[in-house]
Structure 1
Amino acid sequence: MNTLITKTYQLLLLLLTLITVSTYAQAPKTGNTIVTGSLQTEQGKPLDYATVTLLRAKDSSVVKGTLSNDAGKYTLDHIAAGTYIIAATNMGYVKSCSPTFEVTGTQTNVLVPVIKMAAGSRTLQTVTITSSKPLIERKLDRTVMNIENSVLAAGNSAMEILERAPGVTIDKDDNISLKGKQGVTVMINDKLTYMSASQLATMLKSTDGSTIQSIEIITNPSAKYDASGNSGIINIKLKKNKMSGTNGSLTANAAYGKNFRDNTSLTLNHKQGNLNIFGTLSRGDQTRENNIDIDRVIDSAGSSTYFKQNTKMLNTVHYNNYRVGADYNTSKSNTLGFVVNGDYTNEYNNNISTTYLGKTPAANDSYQKTFTDMLQTYRNIALNLNDKWQIDTAGQELSIDLDYSKFKNNSNAKYDTYFYRPDGSSLMPALFLRNQTPSDITIYTQKADYTLPLSKSLKLETGVKFSSVKTDNDLQAQINSGSIFVNDPTRTNRFIYDEKVSAGYINLGKTYKSTSIQAGLRAEQTTSNGNLITQNQIVIRSYLDFFPSLFINHTLSDKHEIGVSYSRRIDRPNYDNLNPFRFYLDQYTYEQGNPFLKPQYTNSYELSYTYNKTINVTLGYSRTTDVSAEVLLTDTLTKATYQTRVNLQTQDSYNININSPYTIAKWWTGNVNINGFYNSFKSDSLLGSTLNNGQAAFNIRTTQTFLFGKGYKAEVSANYQSPQTYSIFKLREQYSVDAGVSHSFLNKKLNVKFAVTDIFNTRRNNLSTRFQSVNLDIRQKNETRLGRLTVTYNFGNSKIKMRQHQTGSDDEKGRVKSGG
């Protein structure tokens, strides 16, 4: 199988190369001239974010397009010799054109005279801003999923929306994978979350989808980004209101499957002059049901014990999230801002686990029931102070961010286990356990980024960052002794983890005739100290790593582009993966961290081809060493099975991704994303044996959008995930279909959406493993079929007045910073 996959991969690579070379041989060459200019109102004010189009003078055919920046300026590069016209359009203004001008091919730069745009009809006082971006959008270094106008996103949480993103899968334990690989770094508004996997899952589940603007998927990040995340970065961009005056929106959502859910959110924005104040408040109640069946066989002392376990889990979350901040233009070139966000969440878990034990699969010798009641509270706050200084008009700028985050979580759990004979009579006295697990995480980060254009085609980026993270987990465990609970020294423990990372990077970008090159190097010095206090185990590490990156993009013609990229990355163990505490489902099933986990390193290579800036094909390969992989281990003495993480030797990953939007008719558009991959895991010494596991797999996701009637919009989304291999596990196939419809009323101020997720109730997480002493099958079904009704009302100044647009006061785009 390995040979077949390798040959298939090489054949695809060769085919793509031949197509590219053939296209290059036939394609016209682009030039090296840069065309620049500016747009102004009749009063001489800069006209920002207007559409600028370069047209051939002889036939008015479109050559290239861009937007003017907040100073009204625009740049068009790689322009070949010829005679051209610049056309400028903007909402509320009359279309304007430049005089005809010529590019000879020998010029480095052509300056187009200032284009002045006249306002539209004097009787038109306001213009309503409407836009419709495609659901999936491919950009130079990332894939963007535009959530804001999607019918399916309404009423869903961030976690549920993330499951629909191209190449993203989420397993039964809420671990996020990208193109078949775990180790994804999740950012919110370009900032790291610094959360453990379980905390991140809780946060994403309690983040209202109506507050999300887009999700960016960056598979091969540059040196500017933190080096963590071997499979790339997922950046969740929250909405930013750019309208002047006071405005906002109120969203209410109700959903029902087997249980009822509801959430509401209020967004407010006030912008006047140089000051912009914004805020979002969200609250919700969500109840989810989850059923898990586990069949396993434990071999011990020459005999086998068969376990058949069923667990019914009811999870109820009540959350209150907030995000408030302000930006102030201290001058035309400097913006100072702050953001405070946090959440106040209570999570209740009520589990009933029934486990049957026997020496044969057909006969039970005994069974037990474990009743688990757990209350987890999350009191989190993050503060960010930022400053952005545009030093000159050539693009030189400096930005500084100071962040402080405090996560205060607490867990109180009660486990009551009763033991029975097959006839239902009591087998032995019941076992009563209690756990209190307070957890504190404190994070400080300081970051500065500097950009310096050395010339019109050469740009330098550099920056430094320092982060300090401290986690304190205190497990206080008790066992019932007679009529009172006493300390259980076998389980009580405290784990303190300190980590400091000092980083610096440099990126150098150069633009040639048809080629752009960016090379970067990032250095990170890491010092960590893990202290398991009760057992007096201390793990200290200190290491310096270098992370190079290289990106080359080449434009073959107006419709054909290719690119290659390389980067080296690191994955430090998550905090909960290092925590050695045991978290029980019952006495035979638990989860345990590994304080001795080492970081894993990944070298990634990617080749991409883009047709007409819409259809994108990427081929990728990566090798990860010291792979931090999830495994199941067996304690043959207690007959318990527990989940933990260990370092495997290597993981080789091959992938091909094809993404294509398409239009069938004016009323019918769609997008298809196909991701094929092959993951191979190897280890010389896992459970005393050699692991060599791999399998080819693929994922297909398609979305159809329909416009019908007067203002009605419908979406249908289908997803199929083939069987695949991860570590020692075999994952079964998954498939589902979602659909939704929306309509606007009251001059588009009121929007009503109805959607059904997993219409046929087919989405399941099933897996199995047969490796050494581990013999196990898991079948999991979450509450995935839900009907949702979402109502959104936009109020206040939802229109931009002409005079405000002419003053150029709405210049905050891209400047709002937020904490993660």
Structure 2
Amino acid sequence: MKTKTLYLNILCFLLMQNAFGQISGKLVTTDGKPLVFANVLLVKAADTSVVKNAQTNAKGIYRIEDIAAGTYKLRLSSVGYQTWDSPVFGINARTANKNFGTTIMQETTRQLGEVVIKASKPLYQQRPDGMVVNVESSLMTKGSSALQVLERSPGVVIDHRNNSINLNGKSGVMVMMDGKLMRIPMDQVMNMLSGMSAANIEKIELLSTPPAGYDAEGSAGIINIVTKKNKKQGTNGSFSATGGYGWGEKGTASFNLAHNTTNVNLYGFYTFSHDRTYTDLFITSTQNMPFLGGNVAVVFNSHTKRVQNDHNANIGADIKLGSKTTLSGNITYNSSNADYTTTNHALYNVLPDSLLTYDGLNTSQNSWNNLVSSVGIDQQINTGEKLSFDADYIYYHNDNPSQVQTTFVNKHGQVAGTNDSLNSPQQRGFAVTTIKVGVAKVDYTKQLSTKLKLETGIKGTYTTSSSSSGLESLLDNVWVKRTESANQIYMKEGIGAAYASFNSQISTSMNLTVGARYEYSYTDMDDPNTGKSLVNRKLGVLFPSILFSKKLSENAELQFSYSKRISRPTYNDLASYVGYSDPTAVYTGNPFLKPTITNNIKLGYNYRDYSFSLLYSRDDNPIARYQLSTGPSKDLLYISPQNLSYQSNFTFQVNLPFKINNWWDMTYSFTSGLSQFKGSGYSVFPFQKSYFIYTSNFNESFKLPKKYSLELSGWYNSQWYNGTTKIDGLGSLNAGIKKELNNNGGSFQLSVADILRSIRVHVHYGTLTQEPFNIKSYVDVRTESSKFPIIKLTYSKSFGSTRASGQAKQGAGDERDRLRKD
């Protein structure tokens, strides 16, 4: 009996020592509103060391679970509010759960002057249709460009060599700015983002399965860049200045101003950026090139210097015409001027004993202007019923003249080739493109019942594009136009769309959105010189979409989404032209390209701020750009876009934020999976490849004494394929330190990008399958930071009033991308 009592006492003791409990409660402000993102710390009563931590959710509720038996205190804090400490309490077998009820947080009585109080958000947030990157939550934002911030986002791969953006291992991404598709060539999209200050960005939405309200364009999904909208009443704004150096000087100046009243909101910003940079290109290759006499071993070196100046301006207004009517207008202007100087040197060792030497100097200027004007009106018909009309006009112009001076000689110094070929000693090129786009859309929403909402609308887009490009050779002191390289195209395209979407709140924990979008498009491309029709294509497709979410508990949620999407060939993809590469190769388009049809599925699970997702996609006829093939001239290599047969991706994505204590936060994001594709038709032999892909991102932020803060961040992308081309993995490590000045004196931030000098792009041709002319090449692209990290110093300051106000909707819906200029 005593033995049984002893065992029972020991068991009770062990259970008490290993007892797990939980605490919960709610924080509100003095006016009863939930206090979100407040810090909740569980500390030991003896030494106040942190045991666990949490943050309040959107309802101000917090919960900490799995607390071991012991004696504790609870500490609650938030910026702008007095810290609250609880009395000492215990967690044991008798008192395993403790609810602190509602705690009213008192505002600090110290005068804060013009300091802006802002609750921090998690760097990454998962949604049923994708992921949100809260750019303002990263120190590296200031001093960075929009393109650099995008490159540090989970699942995003920036291909600087081919001017493309991949999302979750797939090409075919469309980029939006404030819900408008950027209908300018992709290389100019990247140029614009590289010249845009990230300080003007609020968040980036990575939408892998957008709902029916979005355009169906973009087989890999949509990247929506949301700029900041100042919501404070009165006149207020901010300015920043950045200076930096890598291989050359860099500078950015940005100014943001807003004036908000009850009925009128006026806003605008201007950014100027300057960048002097360079790129080195090294190629070793073997090939059987008849033009050069047979088997050839090639060593090619290229050095490009670029000086680029960008101007970005925006001005807009939201005007309340009445209690139910809001008028919006917005004008955005972007311009860029880049001067390029490229020196090329190549040795062609024609086996067994001939040697050809090629030297070239290429100078070019790329100037473009882009104007987007928008007008919209929102009419609140009744409670839960709204009608919106939006219209956009887009104008884009690009001028890209170039001059090429070359020498191509044999080992005896004699000129190789004939004087009337593409290896003429002097050549000049021209490329002029003008694009005009008109967009109009009407959206209607109605709350049919307390649990059912209807969204429907129609949209029309009409685009005209004219382009002229070609090469001229200097022969006997006369510039002669190369007819095989001349290209003049006039294109018109129309896209009509209609969509409907039903959102049902099935229960308090379950939400379902089902929608469908129908798009009909026609594309007509003509040669104005001959009147010949180059492309005449009509296509009508239905694009269904499903979004489902189920709240499993207060902290857990299950999500499912499906969408069907399309990537139409861009206008330059379809155009038949010849662009000079070197004496043995030219760039061209492919009028026989088919559109890509994609089915995307996503299954997600969120637990608190942690998120886990499984994604599957199947692409039919995916477009791979810069593929090697033969063409009309059998002696030349043609570099052009081609259709693959299919591509399938199965990936797993995880986002893990950790709050170590009140001064140390970390976030880790991983995407990995299997990719498979197959191609035939343009290559020497059919090919197929299955390979493992992964990307990783991390961010570590530290709040230091005396208003200092520190951030370390990095990313790595594994190897991937663009058709038959293999690209090795690469990554970057970055750091930044920030100092907030007293009395609203602004802040200084020092950032260092690519600390390890690791951004070098390695490309392989001929490793997957036999290329035309049996080409086997290794390409080494060395960016500026591979020689020395890029260091930038930024000063920024906010000014004006601090009273918050509502902000009306800006501009139209979705428009502006699908053009490329390769």
Give the shorter-chain TM-score range: 0.7 to 0.9
Partners of 2:81 and 2:106 within 8 A in 1: yes
From 376, 381, 389, give the equivalent of 2:371: 381
Measured against aligned partners, the alpha-carbon deviations of 1:618-648 in whole angstroms (never above 9, x if no partner) come to 1111111111112222469665434211112
Equivalent residue runs for 1:192-231 within 5 Å: 192-231=181-220
Q: CA deviation at 1:324?
A: 0.6
Q: CA deviation at 1:718?
A: 2.0
From 148, 160, 164, give the equivalent of 1:175: 164
Partners of 1:91 and 1:127 within 8 A in 2: no
Partners of 2:150 and 2:156 within 8 A in 1: yes
From 342, 345, 348, give the equivalent of 2:339: 348
From 326, 331, 335, give the equivalent of 1:335: 326
Partners of 2:122 and 2:137 within 8 A in 1: no
Describe the shift of the 1:310–1:128 C-alpha distance in structure 2 as closer, same or farther (beyond 3 A). Answer: closer
Q: Which residue of 2 aligns with 1:607?
A: 603
From 621, 627, 634, give the equivalent of 1:626: 621
Q: CA deviation at 1:392?
A: 3.2
Partners of 2:487 and 2:578 within 8 A in 1: no
The alignment status of 1:694 with 2:690, answered yes or no, reads yes
**1:148 alignment partner, SS class:** helix
Describe the shift of the 1:121–1:724 C-alpha distance in structure 2 as closer, same or farther (beyond 3 A). Answer: closer
Partners of 1:530 and 1:595 within 8 A in 2: no
The alignment status of 1:799 with 2:794, answered yes or no, reads no
Describe the shift of the 1:412–1:525 C-alpha distance in structure 2 as closer, same or farther (beyond 3 A). Answer: same
- In the alignment, residue 768 of structure 1 is paired with which amino acid? H
From 708, 716, 724, give the equivalent of 1:720: 716
Describe the shift of the 1:216–1:448 C-alpha distance in structure 2 as closer, same or farther (beyond 3 A). Answer: same
**1:685 alignment partner, SS class:** coil
Q: CA deviation at 1:64?
A: 8.9
Partners of 2:398 and 2:432 within 8 A in 1: yes
Question: Which stretch of the first structure deviates more once superposed, 218-227 or 331-340?
Answer: 331-340
Partners of 2:490 and 2:526 within 8 A in 1: yes
The alignment status of 1:775 with 2:776, answered yes or no, reads yes
Q: CA deviation at 1:486?
A: 2.7
Q: Which residue of 2 aligns with 1:130?
A: 118
Q: CA deviation at 1:307?
A: 2.1
**1:233 alignment partner, SS class:** strand
Q: Which residue of 2 aligns with 1:30?
A: none
Write the distance in 1 (CA, Å) between the matches of 2:677 and 2:709: 45
Write the distance in 2 (CA, Å) between the matches of 1:144 and 1:813: 22
Q: CA deviation at 1:329?
A: 1.1
Write the distance in 2 (CA, Å) between the matches of 1:234 and 1:743: 32
Q: CA deviation at 1:582?
A: 2.5
Write the distance in 2 (CA, Å) between the matches of 1:118 and 1:179: 45
**2:199 alignment partner, SS class:** helix
From 277, 282, 297, give the equivalent of 2:286: 297
Q: Which residue of 2 aligns with 1:150?
A: 138
**2:686 alignment partner, SS class:** strand
Q: CA deviation at 1:426?
A: 5.3
Measured against aligned partners, the alpha-carbon deviations of 1:516-572 in whole angstroms (never above 9, x if no partner) come to 111111000101101234463421011211001112211211222212211111101
The alignment status of 1:262 with 2:251, answered yes or no, reads yes
Q: Which residue of 1 aligns with 2:67?
A: none
Partners of 2:763 and 2:779 within 8 A in 1: yes
**Unmatched 5+ residue regions in structure 2?**
1-27, 39-52, 61-76, 84-103, 817-822
Write the distance in 2 (CA, Å) between the matches of 1:629 and 1:643: 11
Equivalent residue runs for 1:40-51 within 5 Å: none
**2:279 alignment partner, SS class:** strand
Q: CA deviation at 1:739?
A: 0.7
Equivalent residue runs for 1:513-532 within 5 Å: 513=507, 514-532=509-527
From 544, 549, 567, give the equivalent of 1:548: 544
The alignment status of 1:357 with 2:366, answered yes or no, reads no
Q: Which residue of 2 aligns with 1:685?
A: 681
Describe the shift of the 1:635–1:246 C-alpha distance in structure 2 as closer, same or farther (beyond 3 A). Answer: same
Measured against aligned partners, the alpha-carbon deviations of 1:52-87 in whole angstroms (never above 9, x if no partner) come to 99xxxxxxx99995479xxxxxxxxxxxxxxxxxxx
Question: Which stretch of the first structure deviates more once superposed, 726-735 or 121-130?
Answer: 121-130
Describe the shift of the 1:637–1:501 C-alpha distance in structure 2 as closer, same or farther (beyond 3 A). Answer: closer
Write the distance in 2 (CA, Å) between the matches of 1:628 and 1:647: 5
Describe the shift of the 1:623–1:142 C-alpha distance in structure 2 as closer, same or farther (beyond 3 A). Answer: closer
- In the alignment, residue 233 of structure 1 is paired with which amino acid? I
Write the distance in 1 (CA, Å) between the matches of 2:454 and 2:350: 69
- In the alignment, residue 779 of structure 1 is paired with which amino acid? D
Measured against aligned partners, the alpha-carbon deviations of 1:111-145 in whole angstroms (never above 9, x if no partner) come to xxxxx999997999987423322222223433111
Measured against aligned partners, the alpha-carbon deviations of 1:670-726 in whole angstroms (never above 9, x if no partner) come to 111111122211134332522212211211111111111221111111222222333
- In the alignment, residue 142 of structure 1 is paired with which amino acid? G
Write the distance in 2 (CA, Å) between the matches of 1:124 and 1:199: 43
Partners of 1:128 and 1:798 within 8 A in 2: no
The alignment status of 1:403 with 2:392, answered yes or no, reads yes
Describe the shift of the 1:780–1:586 C-alpha distance in structure 2 as closer, same or farther (beyond 3 A). Answer: same
Question: Which stretch of the first structure deviates more once superposed, 646-655 or 289-298?
Answer: 289-298
Measured against aligned partners, the alpha-carbon deviations of 1:741-799 in whole angstroms (never above 9, x if no partner) come to 11111434411111111111111111112222342221111113543334334343142
- In the alignment, residue 188 of structure 1 is paired with which amino acid? M
Equivalent residue runs for 1:430-441 within 5 Å: 431-441=425-435
**1:161 alignment partner, SS class:** helix
Equivalent residue runs for 1:287-686 within 5 Å: 287-300=276-289, 303-360=294-351, 365-393=355-383, 395-422=384-411, 427=416, 431-513=425-507, 514-534=509-529, 536-612=532-608, 614-630=609-625, 631-634=627-630, 639-686=635-682
Q: Which residue of 2 aligns with 1:737?
A: 733
Write the distance in 1 (CA, Å) between the matches of 2:108 and 2:791: 42
Q: CA deviation at 1:317?
A: 1.0
From 757, 762, 767, give the equivalent of 1:761: 757
Partners of 2:276 and 2:306 within 8 A in 1: yes
Partners of 1:370 and 1:586 within 8 A in 2: no
**1:557 alignment partner, SS class:** coil
Q: CA deviation at 1:601?
A: 0.2
Partners of 1:371 and 1:415 within 8 A in 2: yes
Write the distance in 2 (CA, Å) between the matches of 1:200 and 1:191: 13
Describe the shift of the 1:124–1:628 C-alpha distance in structure 2 as closer, same or farther (beyond 3 A). Answer: closer
Write the distance in 2 (CA, Å) between the matches of 1:123 and 1:214: 30
Write the distance in 1 (CA, Å) between the matches of 2:560 and 2:279: 43
Write the distance in 1 (CA, Å) between the matches of 2:273 and 2:37: 43
- In the alignment, residue 641 of structure 2 is paired with which amino acid? R
From 129, 132, 137, give the equivalent of 1:141: 129
**Unmatched 5+ residue regions in structure 1?**
1-38, 54-60, 69-88, 96-115
Write the distance in 1 (CA, Å) between the matches of 2:663 and 2:108: 29
Q: CA deviation at 1:587?
A: 2.4
**2:534 alignment partner, SS class:** strand
Write the distance in 2 (CA, Å) between the matches of 1:460 and 1:158: 35
Q: Which residue of 2 aligns with 1:21?
A: none
Write the distance in 2 (CA, Å) between the matches of 1:537 and 1:296: 39
Count of equivalent residues: 724
Q: CA deviation at 1:817?
A: 6.0
Q: CA deviation at 1:813?
A: 5.7
Describe the shift of the 1:636–1:418 C-alpha distance in structure 2 as closer, same or farther (beyond 3 A). Answer: farther
Write the distance in 1 (CA, Å) between the matches of 2:671 and 2:30: 47
Q: Which residue of 2 aligns with 1:787?
A: 790
From 701, 704, 710, give the equivalent of 2:706: 710
Q: Which residue of 1 aligns with 2:806?
A: 811
